[in-house]
Amino acid sequence: MNTKILDNILLALVIIGAINWGLIGFFRFDLVAFLFGTMSWFSRVIYALVGISGIYLISVFGRIRSMKDA
């Protein structure tokens, strides 16, 4: 899979996670739990994918830095 495509997919997941955290912070409303159930297996998979996506996207900082140096 092309790295740029993977980056875009994972960035979309992280944005969805950030919106969910914003909803939790401002309105005490967990959209993922509302849609899929409180800590159901599917909501746990979504939370895990968002977390893994965030960890992976840390590498974007290194790639941006290396592009500046080139």
This prediction has a pTM of 0.79
Q: How many helices (H) and strands (E) does the chain have?
A: 3, 0
**pLDDT of the residue at 1:** 65
DSSP 13: H
Q: How far, in Å, CA of 46 to CA of 12, rounded? A: 12
Q: How far, in Å, CA of 39 to CA of 51, rounded? A: 15
What pLDDT digit, counting tens, does each position of 25-35 carry? Answer: 999 999 999 99
